[in-house]
Structure 1
């Protein structure tokens, strides 16, 4: 299998930034992104089965904890072992300390406690593990919901991911995708982009269209796409403000 060309999350600074992103303060009035995503996704789950969920590309794990409030079991997977360590420590030890950059060599020390989020009663429902989203083990299957948050435009083969994830979802189950669709050749070779280019007809071919075509005919979209904003803190004065598009897809009953 081809190896991803780079994994920019494998640095302490990047891990700390994602811990802050998932569990830290809110900036500029923008709600916590993982919490907002799960809240929006669960609106589509009402009345459906809630046995197993998969959080693929879970990073530092906030969305997995949120899913565990509703589902009996959550598999939370990420390609980066160091990102996975943070929620594992929080799950096992109840606390996680980290450092955020303020200015140059000046930093701030922060600590999060699992009880501050109310996760102490659901933490044991989650299994955190390292995995390649494009090459998952066969045991990852039979899900009522799969959440792939800001993942598809960072995969080396997103078409393969979508083709294979379809068979891991139960009939009537949901696939929830979020992404700002920032396709970059250092993550995904140009010919493997889901969209963001001109088709042979000369018409623009969007990622949303690519997702739709990749999931057809087994899946149908639930509701309209929804933009969910998020803010990544880099330093005390530098932030990334981004809009991710969320789409929910339901697997048709056999």
Structure 2
């Protein structure tokens, strides 16, 4: 089972629309979290999806087709859950062929860590993580505006709060080691105990958006 996330930069480079879709097809994730999403990116090969609420035009000049987050799945979406902010985060329970997984897709700090609401939004998301991670296998993914492997882009406050939250809720940031990266996939330790996990990246030259895409592949551990 593959889980991937990518910030497509509000599709600012519309000439790359076809290339963005082609990259997504190549990754072939079973669960995909797109941030700074635009519905011009049509993905009919995903039969199930949930998006955050339609955004007001101001103050960021959003197009009608834009959403901050969209979660796509090849597996049925069993439940949806109300998050602290319907514009910024969405949470769903997905019935996969390996396990039911509660997926929380998000952006932390809609204009980066300098956003005036960054600290308060972070704390509210941590409150959501505390709540939803107790419901079962949990995956928290999206644009966290925080690097963990280097000084690429982070605040000490956010990094420390994330690390503490993940530890308290028995979560593992699978992508923490990736350099020049602020988009992450965090999963329950219970999933790590059951699966072998590999990570991969794409758009590393930032040709199609200003973010790399990241993916994890979970395969059942072999019994020796």
Normalised TM-score (structure 1): 0.38
- CA radius of gyration, larger in: 1
Whichever structure has more helix as a proportion of its residues is: 1
Normalised TM-score (structure 2): 0.42
